[in-house]
Amino acid sequence: DLTGVHSLTDEMLEDLVKFCPRIRRLSIKNCRKVTGKGLMAIAKYLPELTAIDMGGSFNITPSDVIDMVRNHPGTSLGALTEIHASGLGWTDEMIDILMDLVGDHLTGLSIGFSPLITAKVGPIIGKAGKTLTSLGMHFCDCMTIDLSIQLGKLLPNLRVLDIRGANSINSITPMLDARASINGYTIAEDDEDHFPFIFVLARYTSITSSSLVDTRAVHSYDFECIIDGGGLGGGI
C-alpha cells in the first residue's frame, strides 16, 4: 500500500517492483508523480498482480491504464480482476476499450470523479455483467436513477456499489426492482434465499432515512445503504 506517497517517482516504483515480483495487490492511489512509465514497469515486473488502485494519480491517463492492462500477462489469463482508477479523466470511449480487454473477467472497477462519462456508459460497463461484483461511480454527474436501473439489470452479481455524490438519486428502490427482475424472481418471493445482497455507499445523495424505510418495506433482506458517516465503505 503506497497510497499518498507523493514523493514516489516512476524510477522508485520500478526499483521496488523489480524486487517484489510476487505482489498481487497494489495501491499507488494519489501518487501524483507516477506516470504511464511507472505503470509499464508494473506490467513488466508484477506478473501475479490481480488488483491495482491508481485513483487520484492525476499524471496517469486512461490511455496509460489501457496500455498497462493490454501488456500485463494477467489480462490474457483472466487474472487481473480489479482496476480502481478514479479521477483520471475517463470517457465512454476509453472505458469501452478497457471493457473489451477485461470485461469477461473483471470483478472490481472504480471510475469515480469522471465528469466526461455519460449515461451511455451503462451498457459498456455491462460487458462485465457476468463477473463484476464491485463498482465505484462516485461523484459522476451521469449517475441518475435511470442509469442505476440500467446497472441493476446489467450487473446481476453486483455486491458493492458506490454512488456517493449522485445528487439526483433519491431512492434505490428502482435499482433493486431491476435487480429482482433480471435475477428471475419477484418481489413476492422476498426472502433471504432469493435476494442477492448489495451494499450501497450513498453519502451526499438525495436518499433519506425515510426513503430507505420505504425501500425496506419492499426489499426486506437484500441491501444495506449508508447515507451518513457510518459504515466502512464496503471495500471500495
In tens, the pLDDT along 88-106 reads 999 999 999 999 999 999 9
pLDDT of residue 196: 73
User: Number of helices (H) and strands (E), helices first, in the chain?
Assistant: 9, 8
Q: How far apart are CA 110 and CA 163, in angstroms?
A: 11
pLDDT of residue 186: 45
Neighbours of 191 (CB within 10 A): 11
Q: Calculate ∠ Cα 100-104-105, nearest 5°.
A: 120
pLDDT of residue 231: 54
Round the average pLDDT of the chain to a whole number and report it: 92
pLDDT of residue 129: 96
List the strands of the sheet with 108-110, edge to edge: 25-27, 51-53, 82-84, 108-110, 134-136, 160-162, 198-201, 223-226
Taking alpha carbons only, the member of 89, 109, 88 closest to residue 99 is 109
pTM of the predicted model, to two decimals? 0.92
Residue 154 contacts residue 129 (beta carbons within 8 Å) = yes
Grid cell digits, residue 13? 516504483
User: Could you say which residues of the chain have pLDDT below 70?
Assistant: 183-195, 230-236
pLDDT of residue 182: 78
